[in-house]
Structure 1
Amino acid sequence: MTADAPGLSLRRQLLVWLLLPQLVLWAGGGLLAYRIALSYAEKGIDQSLTQSVRALARQVKPIGSGLLVDFPRAAQDVLEQDPQDRIAYMVSSPPGQFLLGNQRLPQPEGMSPMAGEPLLYSAGFEGRPMRFVAMDVNYGEVNAPQTMRVQVGKSLAVQQRIARELIADMLAPLLAAGVLLSLAVYGGIQRGLAPLTRLTAQLEHRSVNALSPIGMTQAPNEVHALVKAINGLLGEVARNVKQEKRFINDAAHQLRTPLAGLISQVELAQRETSDPVLGARLNKVLTGAERSAHLVHQLLTLARTETTARREPLDVAALAREVARDWTPRAVAAGMDLGFEGEQHLMLQGDALQLREALSNLIDNALRYTPRGSSITLRVSQGAEETVLVAVEDNGPGLSDTDMVHVFQRFWRASEQPGGCGLGLAIVREITRRHGGEAKAERVSPQGFRVVLTLT
């Protein structure tokens, strides 16, 4: 069962949900203010264009069937000056037929201005957006009516510049206020989450066996409720661990003693009898008793490894050499070569009793399932990122790819050879996990089997 991947931290979630609406409102407010500024600037341009078109229309006076243009040069220069604020004008009669000003201005599409009433519209002229006003003036005889159209256009550059300046003047203080508000929100979140940070630090620096209650003097009610719940859980776990330890000790006493007595009695009976049939039966009883004793020992060891692990400074290389020396007599009796290779000294934080049990299980497993005349090597070396690698390798028949998947499963055995119970490698894996590492089984070329422990 794997743990779910951690999601977004509470601090980041609070920042997102507090600052994101502020950013959205700020952007929306800026866009709305820009639209309003453009609208007011357009209204100002429309008023200016309306006044200009009426003034220009007054300078063109109908006389009978003709027109008198009274347009001083100074007024024409004012209209035709072309800084960034471009102004264009045209007088045409009939509408669209050039008389005065720019020769071609865009006409209003889909509508015609009423006589004497200005018509405002937007269009592009010479590659730039402009605002135009058109006004028609009727003149001529009754039997020969004519229409004159006066148009004036003004660039929107000034409108857009005014809008941008207005937005800059409005949003710059708002942006500064938003930054200050964001800093205040971040500081408030940091202060509000400080009790949770202290609680996390207390839990992280606790050892596995530290099940005493957590003390939190100054914290919000919600954090106090969380601490109270954690303390209740720690108390329950402490009671269960104490009860389990008591059960393990009682079981060790109640199971080991009778089995040891049974084995002793069977061995005495074997020496006292000369009946081959009875001897064969006693041998089967002895094998079963020894297997039961081994199973009890492994079960108790597994229970201990799942409850406690005291991490202390430990020389793993020295421990491995000592274990190899302890198992050498049994290896010699089994006709095998047991050796040690690797560093002379390698230090880490570990439980000496549990690591000794893990190495003993690996060597015992190799002695049980490796044929006579094989060699077994215990290696200790420095791994990557300050890890320690401990490996037990043999040149026996090894396992198939199908069996390699099950090697660390409890009560799984690769063969029905008497003596094993299928818990040795499961105990090794549990002890390795207790030391923050992992156990890995590998096939050796051309033949053989190797278990590598990565300890941190």
Structure 2
Amino acid sequence: MSPQAALAGQGAGSAGHGLSLKRQLLFWLLLPQLVLWLVGGALAYRIALSYFEKGLDQSLTQSVRSLARQVKPIGSGLLIDFPRAAQDIIEQDPQDRVSYLVSSPPGSFLLGNRQLPGPPPGLAPTTGEPLLYNVLVDGKAMRVALLEVNYGETTSPQRLRVQVAKSLAVQQRLTRELVADMLAPLLLLGALLSVLVYGGISRGLLPLKRLQAQLGQMGRQSEQNVSTLLPIEMTQAPQEVHALAGAVNQLLVAVRRSLGQEKRFLNDAAHQLRTPLAGLISQTELALAEPDHQALRERLSKVLACAQRSAHLVQQLLSLARNETEVRLQPLDLAALVREVARDWTPRALSAGVDLGYEGAQSLWVQGQAMLLREALSNLLDNALLYAGQGSVVTLRVSQLQQQALLEVEDNGPGLSDIERAHLFERFWRASELPGGCGLGLAIVAEIAQRHGGSVSAQALEPHGLRVRLSLMLAPHA
């Protein structure tokens, strides 16, 4: 499966789960409105009810004081000046019924509604001060104002209790009507605001729809030709969509670079393997047709050489492809690594008649990947031993220059001209026709240096020779 198909499959799979972005935005924008509407309604109801209670308490307090003034002591008795017409006026509204009770001593009925209960337990009335509380009379909630006063002679004091109660039905009905009249316009405004929010979200998501359309068109075009993956253009879009488009463009650049590397690798491999494989086939055919035993051995020797060159080329191509991926750097001792590689290459240097030595720092820590640095140094040594010639001297050197670590491989061989050094790190470029090389060793060194955030260069030595320098980053604690 191609990278585009995998990404498309992941996108399609994720799109089938959960709510769409528009629905999520609508939900999280409209839900607070609904919560505020409900909380506002509850608060409005409670506030309106409290104001009605204050008005009702004030009215009951005035009524109970007025009724108490109508009770006049005469000697050791009472004169209640409360005409029947006044009683009828008080009790004329059945929904907003007002009841009263006069008792002396408290609890002994004199006048009014016997069903009015006294104060609940825990509430003790104070003489001359009205006491307000709620009770249930015939299953209906009522608000009661109670006032106790003293009368009579000082030698035989008496206490009078006056109670006036009013139904809460009208108060609660008015409160509900007031809250409903308040919330109805707010509900209409909320509906209008919801429509505006929906339109705003739809308009705000248009850049995402355009981005989706562009990506879909790019996906269809990429099925025909990957080179058509051009950057996304979002000239008129919010800043967040620009950031998203920028991230997608970075991803497209990485995809194009990866596909380009794969294409280049395939082209290089096909081009470079064609010649040794053709020679291998040709030498095999000649060997099969060769009657002479000695000539057959020569043909087979050439077949072996072609096979070895092909194997070496495949190994270098695979190494080059592996080095083009990201590497994870960690602190390592470059000097110790170079000395270890030098010991491993000493037998080959002796067999080639080359004096291989090391000089420089005993320890120098860099940020690197040991396997890749070992491969880069091996390629440098392979080129030095191959082209410096018998009797030459190859020196490995590790040193520090400011904030960089330097790894140098130099030899006193014939060296290279200025024109040849300009092409030294190009792929498949060879300065000599000596057998054994394929023109990828130093290209691999350049790739490894780049993956380590460093660089590679070559300088000519006097009177002759060549120095290849690899610059690397020092470890933080170096």
Q: Equivalent of 1:132, from 140, 144, 159?
A: 144
Indicate the SS of the match to 2:101: strand
Partner residue, 2:62: 51
- The question of 1:66 aligning with 2:77 is answered yes
User: Distance between the aligned counterparts of 2:150 and 2:289, measured in 1?
Assistant: 142
Matches within 5 A, 1:374-453: none
User: Distance between the aligned counterparts of 2:86 and 2:65, measured in 1?
Assistant: 14
- The question of 1:101 aligning with 2:112 is answered yes
Change (3 A) 1:95 1:242: same
User: Distance between the aligned counterparts of 1:147 and 1:256, measured in 2?
Assistant: 126
- The question of 1:143 aligning with 2:155 is answered yes
User: By how many angstroms is 1:163 displaced?
Assistant: 1.2
User: Distance between the aligned counterparts of 2:151 and 2:29, measured in 1?
Assistant: 67
- The question of 1:182 aligning with 2:194 is answered yes
Partner residue, 2:364: none
Indicate the SS of the match to 2:78: strand
Amino acid at match of 1:139: Y
User: Distance between the aligned counterparts of 2:116 and 2:124, measured in 1?
Assistant: 15
Partner residue, 1:233: 251
Structure 1 range deviating more: 254-263 or 138-147: 254-263
User: Distance between the aligned counterparts of 1:92 and 1:122, measured in 2?
Assistant: 19
Partner residue, 2:97: 86
User: By how many angstroms is 1:253 displaced?
Assistant: 4.5
Change (3 A) 1:127 1:257: farther
User: By how many angstroms is 1:107 displaced?
Assistant: 1.7
User: Distance between the aligned counterparts of 1:107 and 1:238, measured in 2?
Assistant: 90
User: By how many angstroms is 1:38 displaced?
Assistant: 0.6
User: Distance between the aligned counterparts of 1:108 and 1:85, measured in 2?
Assistant: 21
- The question of 1:22 aligning with 2:40 is answered no
Q: Is the 8 A contact 1:62 1:139 kept in 2?
A: yes
Q: Is the 8 A contact 1:59 1:69 kept in 2?
A: yes
Q: Is the 8 A contact 1:79 1:89 kept in 2?
A: no
Count, aligned residues: 286
Partner residue, 2:50: 39
User: By how many angstroms is 1:64 displaced?
Assistant: 1.8
Q: Is the 8 A contact 1:98 1:104 kept in 2?
A: no
Q: Is the 8 A contact 2:115 2:137 kept in 1?
A: no
User: By how many angstroms is 1:136 displaced?
Assistant: 1.0
TM-score normalised per structure 1? 0.54
Matches within 5 A, 1:280-291: none
Partner residue, 2:238: 220
Q: Is the 8 A contact 1:88 1:153 kept in 2?
A: yes
Partner residue, 2:167: 155
Gaps of 5+ in 1: 276-281, 304-456
RMSD between aligned residues: 3.7
Structure 1 range deviating more: 175-184 or 35-44: 175-184
Q: Percent identity?
A: 70
Partner residue, 2:209: 197
Change (3 A) 1:153 1:270: farther
Q: Is the 8 A contact 2:98 2:164 kept in 1?
A: yes
Amino acid at match of 1:193: L
Q: Deviations over 1:223-249 (max 9, x none)?
A: 334323433432342233133123213
- The question of 1:171 aligning with 2:186 is answered no
User: Distance between the aligned counterparts of 1:226 and 1:135, measured in 2?
Assistant: 75
Indicate the SS of the match to 2:175: helix
User: Distance between the aligned counterparts of 1:100 and 1:78, measured in 2?
Assistant: 16
- The question of 1:242 aligning with 2:260 is answered yes
Q: Equivalent of 2:132, from 84, 105, 120?
A: 120
User: Distance between the aligned counterparts of 1:112 and 1:28, measured in 2?
Assistant: 36
Change (3 A) 1:79 1:271: farther
User: Distance between the aligned counterparts of 1:10 and 1:238, measured in 2?
Assistant: 30
Change (3 A) 1:143 1:245: same
Gaps of 5+ in 2: 1-5, 294-299, 322-478
Greater gyration radius = 2
Amino acid at match of 1:228: G
Partner residue, 2:413: none
User: By how many angstroms is 1:9 displaced?
Assistant: 4.6
User: Distance between the aligned counterparts of 1:172 and 1:227, measured in 2?
Assistant: 44
